[in-house]
Amino acid sequence: MANNVSQRELGRRLGFEISVASSRMNNYEQGKRTPDFTTLEKLAEELNVPVPYFFCKSDKMAELLCMFDKLTAEQQDKLIAQLRENGQNPTE
């Protein structure tokens, strides 16, 4: 589990009963159950990642998203401007 936290401990931190915490987290990880948005928010906070991280289709996108999320608003604006200047605007 990310951040060296066991599934049981992570589930406990999210508020699950200790008796089901590990199995509940395992079901999420295996895709057998889907957490509701509130649980996703708590999970993201515990793992120090943005919520959209859980929807990334590739490791590269997830890494990029995490790096972008850690930038200040000014740094984000600057990076977006640089990408637009280089013809990387996906809305065009």
Q: For the chain, what are the domain ranges?
A: 1-48, 55-92
Q: By the 8 A CB rule, do 10 and 18 touch? A: no
pLDDT in tens, the chain (92 residues): 356 889 999 999 999 999 999 999 999 999 999 999 999 999 999 999 999 999 999 999 999 999 999 999 999 999 999 999 988 666 65
Which runs of consecutive H residues, i.e. helices, occur in 1-92?
7-13, 18-30, 37-47, 59-70, 73-85
Angle at 61 between CA 57 and CA 14, to 5 degrees: 75
1-48 sits in which CATH class?
A: mainly alpha
Residue 86 has phi, psi (to 5 degrees) of -90, 10
The pTM for the full model equals 0.77
